[in-house]
Amino acid sequence: MHRVSVRIYDTDSEGRRFLLYRSGDLITDAEAERVACLVDPEPAKPGWMRLLERRDEDSPAPPAKPLGRMKVAELRAVCEAEGIDPAGANTRSEYVAVIEAGRTAAGATLRER
């Protein structure tokens, strides 16, 4: 049995936060191991609370951000990652057009093979 030293919060399936354990609560060894792997290390400032985050081991990657919502720096990074030459694009709309054209051309060359 372990005694909880700080408040531990968790979130439910709808994203609402709730108090899971209060200071002084007794928990089992197995529960203490589960909480220890989900809780961040001890906060630097005393009295700060710990927040739990549920993580599925095989959780899918977050969905890709649409090109229209990316900043210019992110669009430049996409060009570099995909090997697309921006060819003097300056605005976000120019980068989006260049990336879409590059992806279309890459898709056409892959289908020709």
Other CB atoms closer than 10 Å to residue 96's CB: what's the count? 17
pLDDT at 22 over 70: yes
- Inter-residue contact 85 to 105 (CB < 8 Å): no
Least confident of 20-29, 54-63, 85-94: 54-63
- Dihedral-angle region of residue 41 (phi above 0 means left; psi in -120 to 50 means alpha; beta otherwise): beta
Structure-model confidence comparison of residues 8 and 75, the more confident one: 75
Q: List pLDDT tens digits, range 82-109.
A: 899 988 899 999 999 999 999 898 876 6
